[in-house]
Structure 1
Amino acid sequence: MFKRLINGFTTAWKGLSLTVKHLFASNADRKITTVSDDNYFKQLEGTNTIQYPKQQLPVPEVGRYQLDVEMDDCIVCDLCAKVCPVNCIDIESIKATEAIGQTSDGTTKRLYAAKFDIDMAKCMYCGLCTIVCPTECIVMTNQYDKTVFQLSDLTYQFSDMPPEVAAEKRALFEQQQAEKQAAKLAAMQKKEGEA
């Protein structure tokens, strides 16, 4: 019993002395170095943490952070939403009655983006959406600090098409399809009448 008591005090004393040693060891700020630095894993002096936001870690070139979409280059192909393993990309497209422009790489745009939302709260930062994009309009930026107070603020809306304009574009496409169908039926009836 007495041996256990001494062992308990000895163990507590060792732990407490280690804590006190670290408490008064150093108040210097940690120097920011990259992982490729030879001395990165040998940093034994100073604090273990950086003083954020005054100090920030360097962002690696291959880091996977915040998604961004350049809507002028988007052809609304929906490949990014299909490949997303967590379904954080929500796209709604409207077919145009004619070509509506070109992307920066010369691809013809034939669809309007009525809705292009990315829920960054669901995103697992895998980067698959950036790989499959044929026009490279969806990219990962070096922004990683997107602190918000409401979870809904993490859903980014990249399409700026108002609902009224979207309804107008849908109506125009439906009217064009109805006209094509009517012309097709008229041609079939004319062909049957001649036969």
Structure 2
Amino acid sequence: MLPLLAAGPAQAREVRIMVLGDSITAGYGLPRGQALPVRLEAALRAKGHQVRIIDAGVSGDTTAGGRARLDWALADRPDAVIVALGGNDGLRGIEPRATAENLAAILDALAARGLPAMLAGMLAPPNLGADYGREFAATFARLAEQRPGVVFYPFLLEGVAGEAALNQPDRIHPNDAGVAELVRRMLPSVESLLARIPAG
């Protein structure tokens, strides 16, 4: 009788990453299977990560809206959170100080719960002026600098914003190819976030 083979290492547990975002997260204008959370999950799984991405995107949401619904969203019990809010603040010309206060409250609430976080930055539309644009962009970098434990991805739409071939006709929301490019560029930062999730 052949001896029993020793069991291999147990498969790592599935971890849950929530994306707290707006229409970019919610997949505005795209079929469900092409939304950012779905594509990001598929890309991570293709690299061997046992991960589930929770879509907590609400179209039109501002940082104030995300802050207001954070506790409700966390009922899904994620192991880590990607904060991808701010685009609508910029579109509405909201005072960058208010955006900073809302994002700080979100990040601090996640830290208090022991949840690793990734902050995705955003840029303001150029029609709001150079001064507003600089102050708005600096808001995200400053928040990340003040919180060294937060993974910082400077611009959510890096490589996609302004590229007609990667956006829907509104020139704001990524199309299928645009989402693929977002995922490709974000992946290393999301893997850094995964590495900060405690084992167990």
- Superposition TM-score, scaled by structure 2 size: 0.25
Give 1 or 2: higher helix fraction.
2
